Chain A
């Protein structure tokens, strides 16, 4: 399989995983602190609120697509490239989209953290 297909696969993993993470984060922000919900309304309410949240379920579907894309891409390219490249780029994409879509305060400190960890994850595969 050529490099273009491998990097296309990595891009698909990064996009699907990022959309999944972002939608799940947005869903959990809407639902609120699960510990407080459990205290006030019980465990059943926590399960009902999470599983009936449309964004959460769509996020879950995207995470499943991301995992499937990862498996397919791993069969095309070296695990030492596909694994760390997709994990590192997903870290950075999450920081970017969380800042734009979730309006999270991604300051210089969090950008430095994302860059360090993305680099660290890439080195772990060496």
Chain B
């Protein structure tokens, strides 16, 4: 794993947690969504916290796709579940919500789960396009070199 890949996973974790917390804060200001105020739901977009939340969740989706392009789904999902822990911490210290003992136990279980995958490889050999190319032709600097050669890896 390179530093760039660790950074992508970090962006997934931070954007997912901060995006959800921003949306939660913005929607609390809007109030409960009911059939009566459904047509005015678009005005929630004018709330800066909702706007920030949407931007962060777009960042989450882009970095999540990037991670899936070089790592297994069964690696990315557990590794990025650290966002649940960040969310609990933000809920406690930023939204001032009460965090029960059960929730801390849940945090401990998630940390244990992340520990299991973090100690293993991020991808199944040959499962991704770039490492199929590397398996057959050796390391390549850019995908274009193998793809443009007209040879199907």
Residues of chain A with a CB closer than 8 A to B133's CB: 32
CB under 8 Å from chain B, chain A span 17-32: 21-22, 24-25, 28-32
Question: Bound complex: CA of A50 vs CA of B4, how far in Å?
Answer: 20
| Interface size, chain B (Cβ < 8 Å) | 43
Is B69 a contact partner of A98 (Cβ separation < 8 A)?
no
Interface centre among B76, B124, B130, B143 (most CB of A within 10 A): B143
Residues of chain B with a CB closer than 8 A to A33's CB: 69-70, 128-130, 143
**Least distance between B85 CB and chain A CB atoms (Å):** 9
Does A1 count as interface, using CB distance less than 8 angstroms?
Answer: no
Does A44 count as interface, using CB distance less than 8 angstroms?
Answer: no
Is A109 a contact partner of B120 (Cβ separation < 8 A)?
yes
Is B109 a contact partner of A114 (Cβ separation < 8 A)?
no
A29 and B110 contact, Cβ closer than 8 Å, known pairs A35-B66, A94-B73, A109-B117: no
A41 and B73 contact, Cβ closer than 8 Å, known pairs A109-B116, A120-B109: no
Question: Bound complex: CA of A112 vs CA of B109, how far in Å?
Answer: 11
Is B65 a contact partner of A104 (Cβ separation < 8 A)?
no
Does B90 count as interface, using CB distance less than 8 angstroms?
Answer: no
Select one of A102, A114, A126 contacting B103, CB under 8 A.
Answer: A126
Is B143 a contact partner of A28 (Cβ separation < 8 A)?
no
How does the 8 Å CB contact mask read for B83-96 relative to A, with 1 for contact and 0 for none?
01000100000000
Question: Bound complex: CA of A119 vs CA of B105, how far in Å?
Answer: 10
A124 and B84 contact, Cβ closer than 8 Å, known pairs A28-B68, A32-B129: yes
Is A36 a contact partner of B143 (Cβ separation < 8 A)?
yes
Question: Bound complex: CA of A117 vs CA of B118, how far in Å?
Answer: 13
Is A117 a contact partner of B124 (Cβ separation < 8 A)?
no
Is B108 a contact partner of A120 (Cβ separation < 8 A)?
yes
Residues of chain B with a CB closer than 8 A to A120's CB: 81, 84, 105-110, 112-113
Beyond contacts A41-B142, A104-B73, A126-B103: 7 other A-B pairs, Cβ-Cβ < 8 A, are: A36-B130, A36-B143, A41-B144, A98-B73, A113-B78, A115-B113, A120-B105
Q: Which residues of A contact B (CB under 8 A)?
A: 21-22, 24-25, 28-37, 39-41, 50, 91, 94-95, 98-99, 102-107, 109-110, 112-117, 119-124, 126
Counting from the closest, the 3 A-B pairs by CB-CB distance are A123-B106, A40-B142, A116-B113
